[in-house]
């Protein structure tokens, strides 16, 4: 049974039930509609804050508040205009949160990122020239690189620390300014270095992935470098967990090439996630889903065999 809220939902379209029909009654009815709508919108925001994913579908919200889809869409349009929420495929999510530190990001969705990195790195062959973008997911691509005689260009401190210990990798560090919060190097120096390179693969991280805008970055410098990475590679591979499909609220975006590969985790296999993936396929994405649980089982079996 659907749990009703304390909102007055006897007339979900906000009509006046007084029946007096005069101007004063119409004015009172309008005020009541405004109050009910404002209260409902506040409760929608509170509800989104309690949901682990921070997102819900229009259908879920309409059922929860016992109102029509049209009423929900009007509420969501108002919240979106006020920049409290962002539109997703078939629903909404809270506006993008404040940027997490690199330490905090390392603690989030680790199994998903590991599975994504493993799947992405399998494409690299011996002797390849590779660009590895900064980011916690791309660090797992670096961790799983096993091909011999690989040359890697990277602007990520985490990837540098990982690749420096791999004897089969020739490591080139892109120069520039360090942004400490996410341990990313960017700027004109890094861009100039990349203009001399045609890489076989560019593994690009993203704060968001959108079919119209491309891949998001926190700063203009990062966005410029990410764009160049994709332009200077024969194949672009975007790596991002399924959460990155649910927001368009960033200001800096890099356009995607005509044909590219997207590796994400099987958490995207929801109704909204599937719709988002279909939109990405429509603009040329070849999509691979990594399965964290399967990787966990396979890793345990490998360790058992080794012992």
The answer to whether the CB of 75 falls within 8 A of the CB of 48 is: no
DSSP state of 148: S
Q: What is the predicted pLDDT for the residue at 272?
A: 78
Q: How do strand 199-204 and strand 233-239 relate by DSSP bridges?
A: parallel
- How far apart are alpha carbons 146 and 128 in whole angstroms? 11
Taking the CA atoms of the chain, what radius of gyration do you get in angstroms? Answer: 24
Q: Strand pairing partners for 217?
A: 252
Among residues 49, 50, 37, which one has the least CA distance to residue 79? 37
Q: What is the predicted pLDDT for the residue at 31?
A: 73
Check pLDDT > 90 for residue 4. no
Q: What is the predicted pLDDT for the residue at 129?
A: 98
Q: What is the predicted pLDDT for the residue at 54?
A: 66
Lowest mean pLDDT among 23-37, 60-74, 140-154: 23-37
- Average pLDDT on 273-288 reads 94
- How far apart are alpha carbons 87 and 79 in whole angstroms? 10
- Average pLDDT on 237-248 reads 88
Sheet containing 209-210: which strands, arranged edge to edge?
A: 209-210, 214-217, 252-254
Q: What is the predicted pLDDT for the residue at 116?
A: 98
The answer to whether the CB of 45 falls within 8 A of the CB of 85 is: yes
- Average pLDDT on 269-289 reads 92
Q: What is the predicted pLDDT for the residue at 271?
A: 78
Among residues 128, 127, 149, 119, which one has the least CA distance to residue 234? 128
For residues 180 and 223, the model is more confident at 223
Coil, helix or strand at residue 155: coil
Check pLDDT > 60 for residue 185. yes
- How far apart are alpha carbons 30 and 23 in whole angstroms? 11
């Amino acid at each position: 049974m659907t749990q009703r809220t304390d909102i007055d939902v006897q007339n979900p379209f906000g009509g006046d039930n007084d029946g007096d029909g005069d101007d004063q009654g119409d004015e009172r009815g309008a005020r009541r509609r405004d109050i009910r709508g404002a209260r409902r919108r506040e409760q929608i925001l509170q509800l989104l804050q309690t949901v682990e994913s921070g997102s819900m579908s229009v259908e879920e919200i309409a059922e929860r508040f016992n109102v029509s889809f049209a009423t929900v869409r009007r509420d969501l349009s108002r919240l979106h205009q006020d920049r409290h929420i962002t539109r997703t495929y078939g629903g909404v999510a809270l506006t993008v949160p404040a940027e997490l530190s690199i330490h905090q990001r390392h603690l989030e969705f680790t199994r998903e990122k590991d599975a994504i990195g493993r799947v992405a790195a399998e494409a690299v062959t011996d002797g390849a020239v590779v660009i590895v973008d900064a980011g916690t997911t791309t660090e797992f691509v670096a961790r799983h690189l096993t091909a011999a005689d690989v040359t890697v260009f990277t602007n990520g401190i985490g990837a540098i620390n990982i690749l420096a210990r791999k004897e089969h990798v020739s490591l080139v560090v892109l120069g520039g300014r360090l942004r400490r919060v996410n341990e990313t190097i960017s700027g004109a120096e890094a861009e100039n270095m990349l203009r001399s390179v045609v890489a076989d693969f560019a593994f690009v991280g993203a704060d968001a992935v959108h079919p119209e805008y491309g891949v998001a970055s926190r700063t203009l410098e990062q966005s410029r470098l990410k764009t160049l990475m994709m332009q200077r590679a024969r194949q672009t591979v975007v790596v991002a967990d399924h959460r990155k499909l649910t927001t368009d609220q960033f200001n800096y975006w890099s356009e995607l090439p005509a044909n590219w590969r997207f590796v994400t985790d099987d958490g995207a296999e929801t109704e909204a996630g599937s719709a988002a993936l279909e939109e990405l396929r429509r603009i040329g994405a070849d999509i691979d889903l990594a399965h964290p649980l399967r990787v966990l089982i396979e890793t345990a079996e490998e360790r058992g065999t080794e012992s």
